[in-house]
Amino acid sequence: MGLKKKIKSAIFNMAPMKKRIVIESNPAFACNTWPMYKEMIRRGWNKKYEIVWSVKNLESYSELPHDENVKCIEHDPSGYLKKLKFQWFLARSCCLICSNRFLTKRNKKQLSIYLTHGSQIKHTRGIHEMGDRCDFCLYQAEMFRDVTAYEVNCPVEKMVCLGSPRNDYFFSKSDSITRLIPDLNGKKVIIWLPTFRQGNLAKPGGKCTDNIFPFGLPVITKNEDFDRLNDVLKKNDVIMLFKPHPAQDMSYVKTRGLSNFIVIDDSMLAEKHIHLYELMAQTDAIITDYSSVYFDYLLIDKPCGLTIDDIEDFTAVRGFAHDDVASLLVGKNIADMEDMEDFVGQIGAGEDDMLEKRIEVKKRTNFYQDGHSSERVCDFVEKWLKENNMA
């Protein structure tokens, strides 16, 4: 550590603590942090702590949380003085909670906890590492403890198993589907959540894999495939909600106003005050690949389609966090349009021939199978704050 950093660190460590909790997610007001925030408000923490959302591109959000004693600040703003002011603000906060962009511990007297944004399935080491930025990191089941510690590059001693707060939505009722699609009229709903394909077969900084996925998503290789899929969906009385990864280039997805194939994004969900997991819980099936949502969706015992025909290429270039990843991925393999048509037909007919196999994987990958993860994390934070005279 250079002299300037040592001086800054010493000053930050002398900063007096304020009863302030800073929280983060990307996109803002989402992921694991949002359900935990709602639990904080339910407990009345905003009566004794100032709660602050750290939000990137704050000006782009038209609606912000309006609970008492809650405010928003710009996350890691540009410019040296603004950055220094932001770091000082963090250094004086008794608790930092993040799920996507790290809120680095700046003061030895404060608590910093990383909720993560899902259990590890693909390699992230060297791409997204926690290191010594936070005091604790969540994991979802015993099989993920050592794996996650390695991938986020932190000591195993920092790992705590409390569940994943966003999974609480799988155990609560919601009208999110009808709010999003008012004229659903009893149709089945499949949600398609592909992982980021444009460049994910290349190493960080590599080129887009347009030659493999011309639309940035698997299975669909030409414009006509969208029309073909829409016809199959209509025939089986099924709606497909396609949500690209937030980093996905949307120009690749040319839907041409299809009736049963609907593209949704974070802004659309935010406008209708719908959390992604709240929506997922109300669907009838999912299509995904190398995303952590696969492990989470297992909790509701509904069919899963897997677009993993590029698994060998993915293994060779990016790689997986598990040696036995194939044994964890249980679902209908969708390698082409014929497979997609078969899967849609099965969902329309209410068929599910892999339930028992998925339940076995669910037992391995989800230690807590309830709707109380937000409570457990809040209990953990509250206990730490009390023990360190921050309550």
* More confident: 293 or 248: 293
Same structural domain for residues 293 and 382? no
Residues 146 and 218 in one domain: no
- What is the spatial distance between Cα 255 and Cα 114, in angstroms, rounded to a whole number? 37
Confidence tier at 249 by pLDDT (50, 70, 90): low
Give me the number of domains the chain comprises.
Answer: 2
Mean pLDDT across 225-237: 96
**CATH code of the domain containing 132:** 3.40.50.11820
Q: What is the model's pLDDT at position 116?
A: 97
82-134 pLDDT, tens digit each: 999 999 999 999 999 999 999 999 999 999 999 999 999 999 898 889 999 99
Q: Is the pLDDT higher at 324 or at 384?
A: 384
Helix (H) or strand (E) holding 374: helix 373-387
Same domain, 196 and 320: yes
Q: Are residues 144 and 217 in the same domain?
A: no
Strands 50-55 and 70-74: parallel
* 139 and 281 inside one domain: no
Q: Please give the pLDDT value at position 206.
A: 43
pLDDT in tens, 3-13: 888 889 999 99
| pLDDT at position 205 | 42
CA pair distance 180, 280, nearest whole angstrom: 12
Look up the pTM and report it.
0.93
Two structure tokens written together for 60: 């782009």
Residue 227 and residue 338 in one domain: yes
- For residue 85, the Cα-to-chain-centroid distance in whole angstroms is 29
Percent of the chain with pLDDT over 70: 92
pLDDT-derived band at 198 (thresholds 50, 70, 90) equals: low
Cα 380–chain centre separation? 21
Domain check: are 239 and 187 in the same one? yes
**pLDDT of res. 209:** 46
149 and 9 part of one domain: yes
**Residues 300 and 350 both lie in one domain:** yes
pLDDT of residue 335: 94
Segments forming the whole domain that contains residue 242? 173-365
Q: What is the mean pLDDT of residues 152-167?
A: 97
Q: What is the CATH number of the domain that holds 340?
A: 3.40.50.12580
149 and 248 assigned to the same domain: no
Query: 220 and 359: one domain?
Result: yes
Kindly report, residue by residue over 204-229, the tens digit of the pLDDT: 444 444 446 677 678 988 889 999 99
Question: Are 192 and 144 found together in one domain?
Answer: no
